[in-house]
């Protein structure tokens, strides 16, 4: 059975498209047809799917069955928990995250986010298109995956790796370290970046419960769409990945 890779999370019943290169190969070979069954892999899981449509340049599939965690699941090196902002700023952040090699983005509704989860989820397909286009341009080895938007309290149920380094940039009056005081060298790293109005006390409580380390910059106050890019780049440099 043929197996194909999709870079974002999937669930049973989802409709998705295969990558441009996989679609082109399938269409050129003319060996698969609508209703044929294939295997689809994400970074974490393997799924059974069937082809639902074959257009001129794209192959659409529906996920039929979750076959469980794949062997040797990929663990992202740097993930950014990014507070939702307006369309232009968030789209810019997504595009540039791909270019610098951020492996995972978790769009998050916070107390002072300019957009909520319910509205932002409508942009999920567009974000994946931005990622596909930016990946083609930057030729990343590990294409960025973006998760569907969540509310900040949903992080309490998130499956963080046991050895993950979890840091939260905070300009609020909390006990914070400088970034170079945190050891990020050989572990997966999650970076939480808030909206321009900052974190609320309830937001900070979530990160405290999750044992995030609060960090601050030395005098710089950056806009929300550039903060994650700057800190992500620094961490990837420290990890010798950029």
pLDDT of amino acid 20 = 82
pLDDT of amino acid 80 = 97
Residue 138 predicted with pLDDT over 80? no
- Distances in whole angstroms, Cα of residue 35 to Cα of each of 50, 191, 199, 242: 5, 41, 48, 42
Residue 188 predicted with pLDDT over 80? yes
Tell me how far apart the alpha carbons of residues 236 and 241 are, in angstroms, rounded to a whole number. Answer: 5
Q: How would you classify residue 125: left for phi > 0, otherwise alpha for psi between -120 and 50, otherwise beta?
A: alpha
Token pair for 228: 């994650």
pLDDT of amino acid 222 = 82
Tell me how far apart the alpha carbons of residues 81 and 150 are, in angstroms, rounded to a whole number. Answer: 10
> CATH number, domain at 112?
3.40.1280.10
> CATH number, domain at 23?
2.40.240.20
pLDDT of amino acid 15 = 95
> What's the mean pLDDT in 32-37?
94
pLDDT of amino acid 47 = 94
Residues 19 and 52 in one domain: yes
Residues 87 and 63 in one domain: no
- Considering the entire predicted model, what is its pTM? 0.73
CA atoms within 13 A on the CB side of 18: 27
- Enter the DSSP assignment of 181: G
Q: What is the mean pLDDT of the chain?
A: 90
Q: Which residue(s) pair with 51 in the sheet?
A: 61
Percent of the chain with pLDDT over 70: 96
Q: How many helices (H) and strands (E) does the chain have?
A: 6, 13
- List the one residue out of 131, 122, 218, 126 whose CA is nearest residue 169: 218
Number of domains in the chain: 2
Residue 70 predicted with pLDDT over 80? no
> What's the mean pLDDT in 90-108?
94
Residues 57 and 129 in one domain: no
pLDDT-derived band at 87, boundaries 50, 70, 90: confident
Residues 171 and 93 in one domain: yes
pLDDT of amino acid 141 = 58
Residues 6+ positions from 201 with CB-CB distance below 8 Å? none
Residues 41 and 155 in one domain: no
Residues 19 and 114 in one domain: no
**22-51 as b/e, with b when 16 or more CB fall inside 10 Å?**
bbebbeeeeebeeeeebbbbbbebbbebeb
Q: Reading across the β-sheet that carries 45-54, which strands appear in turn?
A: 3-5, 37-41, 45-54, 59-69, 15-17
Residues 58 and 82 in one domain: no
Residues 6+ positions from 50 with CB-CB distance below 8 Å? 35, 36, 37, 38, 61, 62, 64
Containing domain of residue 86, as a range? 78-238
> What's the mean pLDDT in 193-217?
94
pLDDT of amino acid 194 = 94
- List the one residue out of 23, 144, 40 whose CA is nearest residue 82: 144
Lowest mean pLDDT among 38-47, 120-129, 146-155: 38-47
pLDDT of amino acid 76 = 86
């Amino acid at each position: 059975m043929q197996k194909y890779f999709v870079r974002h999370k999937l669930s049973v019943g989802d409709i998705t498209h295969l990558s441009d290169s996989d679609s082109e190969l399938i269409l050129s070979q003319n060996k698969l047809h609508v209703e044929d069954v294939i295997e689809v892999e994400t970074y974490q899981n393997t799924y059974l799917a069937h082809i639902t449509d074959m257009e001129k340049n794209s192959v659409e599939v529906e996920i039929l069955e979750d076959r469980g965690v794949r062997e040797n699941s990929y663990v992202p090196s740097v993930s950014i928990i990014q507070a939702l902002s307006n369309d232009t700023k968030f789209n810019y952040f997504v595009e540039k995250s791909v270019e610098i090699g951020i492996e995972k983005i978790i769009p998050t509704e916070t107390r002072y986010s300019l957009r909520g989860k319910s509205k932002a989820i409508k942009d999920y397909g567009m974000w994946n298109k931005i990622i596909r286009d930016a990946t083609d341009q930057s030729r990343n080895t590990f294409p960025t995956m973006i998760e569907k938007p969540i509310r900040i309290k949903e992080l309490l149920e998130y499956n963080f790796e046991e050895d993950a380094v979890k840091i939260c940039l905070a300009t609020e009056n909390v006990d914070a370290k400088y970034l170079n005081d945190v050891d990020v060298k050989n572990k997966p790293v999650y970076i939480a970046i808030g909206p321009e109005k900052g974190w609320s006390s309830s937001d900070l409580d979530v990160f405290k419960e999750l044992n995030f380390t609060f960090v601050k910059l030395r005098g710089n106050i950056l806009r929300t769409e550039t903060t994650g890019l700057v800190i992500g780049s620094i961490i990837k440099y420290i990890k010798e990945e950029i």
